[in-house]
Each structure stands twice: as structure tokens, then as C-alpha cells.
Amino acid sequence: MAFVVADLTPDQKPLDWNTRMTIAAGAAKGLEYLHTEANPPVIYRDLKSSNILLGEGFKPKLSDFGLAKFGPSGDKSYVSTRIMGTHGYCAPEYLTSGKLTMKSDIFSFGVVLLELITGRKAHDDSRAREERLLVDWARPMLRDGTNISNLADPLLRGHFSKSTMKKAVEVAFLCIQENANCRPSISEIVLALDYLTSHPYEAAKRVSVNESPKEPSVMLDRERAVAEAKMWGESLRHKRLQTADKASDG
């Protein structure tokens, strides 16, 4: 089956946070194969939620390569092609120029990640005009960086780690940068999502009166988590600075 978070039937249970991140990480790895291991490299060109099929254990698999193109060769940085794809997922530079690059796929992946986070469709005519395109609705909140939890799908009912949610949002924000050069590579995205899936959400458990939260193992885990969070923050801060510098140079 294909995954479309916003198209649940009444008898379907909403995907939990961990499953959504597993789908995102798996889809990213599929895209990484096309970009870095296929010979010649392949630009998917039509990455969208309905083209991500879910197998056993919600393992994702990319499908429908009808619009895929071989990546640029020689000293070329893009492929010129007729504009095709699905409204709401296409990168802005591709829509305006027909120039297709690996970073066009990254934009589309960012939209898919936003769908997983928000539970909204990439394009939804049933919503108010200013909310019809998911990217247009989300970008102000992504850019502002406050009240990030407001982006979360209400069906999650708060069952997610706010710190992990914030990290996922940061990845999505980098993916949908209007300047293609500011978007991360798919390998960078895979690394980031692997980190998120290695820190699954667990509902808070009641602590027995006989258990002490100051046990050495707990303290070590906490220190390790803090250290990892600092590393993540430094990495994202560096990426944001690069993004700002490239945008100003452009």
C-alpha cells in the first residue's frame, strides 16, 4: 500500500511518530541509492507520498519511475527537460526553468517529510487559499522557529519527543530552501534521519518509589543525550550559517 497520512479511512489507525520517521528514513535511503549508487545517477523527479509503497513493518519502497531521468553528465550541473511532476512537490527552480538537478528531488523529499510531520497533503484545495500548498503554510513557522509543535499532526496527540520533532522540522526546512544550493545532500539527510530513528519516542513511564532517577546508568544516558544534542545543534547551526551565506551571495 502507498502511504498518504492525510487520507486515512475511519477504520485506519493514524501512524505513530516512530513509524513516520521510519518511513522517512527508508525513503531517504531509497533516494540515496538513486543519487549516489546507481550508475549513472538517477533523478527521481516525481517523489511524492503516493509513490512510496509500504511493505511489512512499514518498510518503504520507492515506486513509479516513469518520470525519472539520468543525472547530468560531464561538466553539466543540471538536466534540461519538459516540466512534469506533481503540484505541491516540484522544486521552484525546476518549475520556472525546467532545469532538473539532484536538489530538485531534495525539495520533494522535504515536502514528503512535512506531510509525515503535519498530517497534511502537499496540495489541498479543500483548505483556505493561503493554506492549500503545504510548503507555503509551513514555511513561515519553519523560518520563525517558534511554536514548532504547532506543525505536528493533531492525530499524534502529542505522542512525540519535542526535541526530536524539532530536529525533523529542521531537516524539512533545509530541504525546502528556495535556493537549491542551500539544500543538503541526500546522504546528509540519511545521516540526520538515522539519528532520529535511533532515538525513538517512548511514552513516559511511572517511576517506582524503589527506583532512583539518579542511578549512574540513567545519568550516563542523560549525559550522552545532551552531548549528542549539542553535536546536532552545532551541525545544524553550521548548516544554517552556510545557508544564509549562500543566499546572501546569490
**Cα angle for residues 131, 133, 138 (degrees, 5° grid):** 70
Which burial class, exposed, middle or buried, applies to 122 when counting CB atoms under 10 A from its CB (0-12, 13-18, 19+)?
buried
Joined together, the cell numbers standing for residue 132 give: 492549500
Distance CA 97, CA 225 (A): 44
Instruction: Exactly one of 7, 16, 46, 64 is catalytic; name it.
Output: 46
Coil/strand/helix, residue 69:
strand
Joined together, the cell numbers standing for residue 121 give: 497533503
Distance CA 32, CA 189 (A): 9
Strand stretches in 158-248, DSSP E: none
Distance CA 148, CA 194 (A): 21
Q: What is the DSSP letter of 45?
A: S
The reply to whether 105 belongs to the active site is: no
Hunting for cell 553528465 — which residue is that? 73
Active site residues: 46
